[in-house]
Amino acid sequence: MTDQPHDVRISGGRVVSTFTGEEFAADVLLRDDTISAVLPPGTPAPARDHVDAAGLLVVPGFVDAHMHIESSFLTPETFAALTLARGTTTVLADPHEIVNVAGTAAMRWMIEAGRGTPQTQLWGVPSCVPALEGLEHAGASLSVDDIAEMLRWPDVIALGEVMDYRAVVADDARMRGIVGAAREQGVILDGHCPNLSGAELSAYMATGVDSDHTKNRTEVVLEKARLGMLMMLQEKCLLPEVIDALLALPQLPPLCLVTDDLAADHILGTGHLDHIARVAVRAGLPATAALRALTWTPAQRLRLPDRGVVAPGKRADLVLLRGELGDFDPALVFAGGRQVARDGVASYGDRGGAVRPGAGPLEGTVDVEAPAPDGFRWRVDLPDGSHRFRAMRVNSRDTYTEAAEIELPVRGGEVDWEGRTTLIRVRNRYGRAGTVFAPLLGRTLSPGAVATTYAHDSHNLVTIGTSRAAMAAAAAAVVADGGGVAVVHGVTVAARLPLPVGGVMSTRPATEIARRSQAVRDALTAWGWEHLNPFMSVSTLTLAVSPSLKITDLSLVDVVRREPSGAVV
């Protein structure tokens, strides 16, 4: 015991126990970065500062066990300020977007950029750079030795999501080496295996990969949970039928609520983990279970026994909530014993609003010409006449894409596609050859186009449009910005989001990026790109490990077979 006064006394609130689910009146005292006492109200204990928590609930800081900072389009410092204000005090970030662009230098830059913020930013080493070796070209390629070395870096605690689950199940030598290196060093192994089931699921889990954050059929969620795979539920996974099935089990399995990919405009306008918790409660998860899935369970997952519960000796990461627990409405946020946010706004440093210094190795990475309309002529080695082409079909709900067919005329070695279909073109942006075209079905679009270098995971230059002129205008805007997203209506740029940091992030303030990303989202919707998350729908068309037909700078890819898919049926 010490006679020294506490630094802070939070009085008048009600603590929510993540162990028992109870609310109880208590004063919470802080010393340095630690909870020094939790006492009955009014118990004598001197403190230098006092916080009136009357009418508020005191809960642990939120822990995000699976997410990607780059998906916010913000640098780590700016991301920290934006999300601390929503109660997220700890994250495990997998920077596989930027590492696919610039390799180990990008990983080192991200870690250094995240240090010095009040948010605890921990890191997973990307396991798939590139996401599907041999079928795409990214800006980097990590060897087993590269990954083994990075796993020893400070603040690295995990192997990032093992997305190429088909390679794991097939006992591919490269993936066996990567997973083996992680197991040898005893780090966390994160998974990604949508709807993997039966013998294949057993083979995947037998390697030591023991979590999944992807969308699964309800019966597969239960299968994975009963085998001890930690289910991480992001927003698209939080369906009432899934929650009902989990609650109907004899015992609710451990769960984590995670964000995975959230853009700046979504975070600023709707929320971060606080939003995910509200979605979970609306889907039927009890508020106390949602809180535990935001705090204690992810803290245990990340091997952080010093957080996840309001208790003496634990780290003083706290969120003071207004209203009912299920509202998850942060009023005050403490990180490491320091008040860092009030009423949804960061209250430390520059509040994430200043323009950041240059991004060093992550600037000037878009090495591709700004194409003229002729660059969108789809030339083929086929005789004149009508031919059936393999197409990609998208939907308005999720990122699943399937193979389809369309008949198009060929004249003089060129596909006459304008006025007949929407076209997608992927062009390598790293100074390599590589351009692939395919028809895109499932959308009724007005004249226009979208171009982006934010395209999972290799982040090549993707252009989708209804005419060569519109596609050229969109691609030219993105190249001029050094990377990013641009939407064209007709042949006029309607919205653009410059992302010059690796082609996927910006050093600009969060409010500016949120405004621009919302404008892009609105422009996509106005163009006719209807989807629950237009950004993700467009940016995952190139994710060659996600079912079932994707496109890269080398070919159309049959994801299930892990092989090129011919352009002509």
Q: What is the 3-state secondary structure (H, E, C) of 355-422?
A: CCCCCHHHCCCCECCCCCHHHHCCECCCCCEEEEEEEEECCCCCCCEEEEEEEEEEECCEECCCCCCE
Averaged pLDDT for residues 424-452: 97
Tens digits of residue pLDDT in 335-377: 999 999 999 999 997 554 444 545 777 989 999 998 899 999 9
Strands (E), 104-257: 120-125, 156-162, 188-191, 211-212, 230-233, 255-257
| Sheet strands side by side (includes 329-335) | 23-25, 14-16, 57-60, 318-322, 329-335, 338-342, 345-346
Averaged pLDDT for residues 62-75: 97
Nearest to 82 by CA among 181, 73, 171: 73
Please report the pLDDT score of residue 355 as a whole number: 40
For residue 448, the surrounding DSSP H or E stretch is strand 448-452
Distance, CA of 289 to CA of 300 (rounded, Å): 15
| Cis, bond preceding 416 (omega within 30 deg of 0) | no
Distance, CA of 30 to CA of 38 (rounded, Å): 9
pLDDT beyond 80 at 275 = yes
Tens digits of residue pLDDT in 76-115: 999 999 999 999 999 999 999 999 999 999 999 999 999 9
Question: Regarding beta strands 492-498 and 385-393, do their DSSP bridges make them parallel or antiparallel, or are they unpaired?
Answer: unpaired
Q: Which residues contact 158 (CB under 8 A, 6 or more apart)?
A: 92, 94, 122, 123, 124, 125, 182, 187, 188, 189, 190, 302
Average confidence score pLDDT of the chain: 96
Give the position of tokens 């700078």. Answer: 553
Contacts of 284-288 with C-beta under 8 Å, sequence gap 24+, read 284/240, 284/243, 284/244, 284/247, 285/238, 285/243, 285/246, 285/247, 287/324, 287/325, 287/326, 288/16, 288/18, 288/21, 288/325
Angle separating helix axes 287-294 and 273-282, nearest 10 degrees? 150
388 bridge partner residues: 407
Residue 276 is which amino acid?
I
Confidence grade of residue 410 (pLDDT, cut at 50, 70, 90): very high
DSSP secondary structure of 500-539:
TBTTTBB-S-HHHHHHHHHHHHHHHHHHT---SSHHHHHH
Averaged pLDDT for residues 439-450: 98
Confidence grade of residue 438 (pLDDT, cut at 50, 70, 90): very high
Count of beta carbons in the 10 Å neighbourhood of residue 244: 13
Distance, CA of 550 to CA of 163 (rounded, Å): 14
Averaged pLDDT for residues 377-393: 98
Confidence grade of residue 116 (pLDDT, cut at 50, 70, 90): confident
**Coil, strand or helix: which one is 80?**
helix
Question: Regarding beta strands 414-415 and 435-441, do their DSSP bridges make them parallel or antiparallel, or are they unpaired?
Answer: unpaired
Confidence grade of residue 2 (pLDDT, cut at 50, 70, 90): low
Count Cβ atoms within 10 A of the Cβ of residue 335 and give its class: 0-12 exposed, 13-18 middle, 19 or more buried: buried
Please report the pLDDT score of residue 3 as a whole number: 72
Confidence grade of residue 151 (pLDDT, cut at 50, 70, 90): very high
For CA atoms 311, 315, 321, 324, the dihedral sign is: negative
Averaged pLDDT for residues 171-190: 97
Distance, CA of 569 to CA of 562 (rounded, Å): 18
Please report the pLDDT score of residue 361 as a whole number: 77
**What is the separation of C-alpha 364 from the centre of its chain, rounded to a whole number of angstroms?**
23
For residue 331, the surrounding DSSP H or E stretch is strand 329-335
pLDDT beyond 80 at 164 = yes
DSSP secondary structure of 238-265:
--HHHHHHHHTSSSPPPEEE--BS--HH
List C-alpha distances in Å: 158 to 181, 186, 262, 337, 411. 11, 9, 21, 26, 53
Nearest to 129 by CA among 505, 542, 458: 458
Which of the two residues, 371 and 66, has the higher pLDDT score?
Answer: 66
Q: Both tokens of residue 347?
A: 């209250």
Confidence grade of residue 240 (pLDDT, cut at 50, 70, 90): very high
Please report the pLDDT score of residue 534 as a whole number: 93
Please report the pLDDT score of residue 532 as a whole number: 87
pLDDT beyond 60 at 68 = yes
For CA atoms 120, 125, 131, 137, the dihedral sign is: positive
pLDDT beyond 90 at 4 = no
Q: Which residues contact 29 (CB under 8 A, 6 or more apart)?
A: 6, 8, 9, 10, 35, 36, 37, 38, 39, 45, 47
Tens digits of residue pLDDT in 209-232: 999 999 999 999 999 999 999 999
Please report the pLDDT score of residue 139 as a whole number: 96
Tens digits of residue pLDDT in 323-340: 999 999 999 999 999 999
| Contact criterion met (CB below 8 Å) for 94 and 66 | yes
Please report the pLDDT score of residue 349 as a whole number: 76
Q: Both tokens of residue 115?
A: 């240090």
